[in-house]
Copies of this chain bind each other. A is one copy, B any other.
Amino acid sequence: VKLPVLRADELQGLARQFFLALGSPPEAADRVAASLVRSNIVGHDSHGVIRIVQYVKAVRSGRIDPRAEPEVEQEGQCTARVNGNWGWGQVAAWRAAQLAVAKARQAGIAGVALYRSNHVGRVGEYVEEIARHEMIGLAFANNHGGAVQVAPFGGRAARLSTNPIAFCAPTSGFPILVDITSSVAAEGKIRVLRNQGKQAPEGWLVDAEGNPTTDPGVLYTTPAGALLPLGGALGHKGYGLGVMVDVLAGALTGALCSHPEAKTVGNAMLILAIRIDAFAPKEHYYEEVDKLVSALKSCPSAKGFKEVLLPGEIERRVAEQRLAQGIEIDDETWREILQAAQELGIALPA
């Protein structure tokens, strides 16, 4: 029991029990468990089962309603807004992605806004789902206005959340997947570093006085430090992307932008689905993306690199490995999971 390497299905079965124990219907418990474990499978441990304990606390504090159902509001032919009713973000965001696919199938392009949602997990998951339907998916998410952790370019205090952008597009082979924050890193990565007792790379963090630091703990002090926007000396670009995401995910969806009056913490998201043949013949699209893939993979590598990878290729390789060899959970996360399991009366895998 103490060995923190589990098979994906074991881990998912374990995660599911937490959400059932918290009162969620089986379908929702399955969805949330599948979403978290999928993050571990692809190597994004910061969005994986490390979140279980956080979710248990959020249900207990009333922030997550484990029984809430998402509702579709203000629906048009190619637009809609989904109200997550402060239930599971993974359930609401999945609904939003499915709705975007259904609308884009009819209309060619669709936008679905999501608000009043808790943490949706890995944003890339929803655009991957869209790409499985032979569409291009795009998503922009903020923290529903709260939990600012990123300084604007030229500033020294946190004003934005990490505001990710995700994109997935089918190819004849594996889909291209881009899933990046507009900051140097996701907050969850800093949390993992802190749990592992590691330092953050230089150029990622400033402390509460605005001094550069590699201590991941500065994000969790009061007053807190801040993450920096993507780009270093060109940080105006990462900052610009962060503001773009905040407007799309915050203001447009009916949620909140990042500002001091926004006390809510969750995720708000704009999801776009684009049907390929609404714009160009499918054959043309696949011919071109496949040639792009070949051109990128044929690029001679720079010093210190073995090869050029496609966006999403690391995740795919990690997934192959972890599905074969199991998922390693860090000690601190495992200790917290075990403790929460005991409190909730959950049986552990033998």
Candidate in A74, A185, A262, A279 with the most chain B CB atoms within 10 angstroms: A279
In the complex, the chain B residue whose C-beta lies closest to that of A248 is B136
Please name the residue on chain B nearest to A184 by beta carbon: B234
A252 and B108 contact, CB distance less than 8 A: no
Q: Copy number in this complex?
A: 2
Residue pair B155, A300 in contact (C-beta under 8 Å): yes
CB distance from A201 to the nearest CB of B (A): 7
Q: Is the CB of B81 within 8 A of A154?
A: no
Q: A136 and B247: CB pair below 8 A? A: yes
Interface residues of A in 249-281 (CB under 8 A from B): 250-262, 270, 272, 274, 276, 278-281
Give the distance to chain B from A41, nearest Cβ to Cβ, in Å. 20
Q: Please give the distance in Å from A133's CB to the nearest CB on chain B.
A: 15
**A284's contact among B76, B169, B251, by CB below 8 Å, is which?**
B251
Cross-chain contact B108 with A78 (CB below 8 angstroms): yes
A162 CB to closest chain B CB (Å) equals 12
Q: Which 3 A-B pairs have the closest CB atoms?
A: A155-B299, A257-B292, A251-B288
The answer to the question of A79 belonging to the interface, with a C-beta cut-off of 8 Å to chain B, is yes
Measured between C-beta atoms, what is the minimum distance from A175 to chain B in Å?
A: 10
Q: How far is the CA of A121 from the CA of B43 in the complex (A)?
A: 40
Q: B111, A289: Cβ atoms under 8 Å?
A: no
The residue among A169, A206, A237 with the most chain B CB atoms within 10 A of its own CB is A237
- 23 pairs across A/B with beta carbons < 8 Å? A74-B278, A76-B108, A79-B278, A109-B110, A156-B302, A159-B308, A167-B244, A169-B251, A178-B244, A180-B240, A230-B230, A230-B234, A231-B232, A236-B309, A247-B292, A250-B292, A252-B274, A252-B279, A252-B285, A253-B279, A255-B288, A257-B291, A257-B292
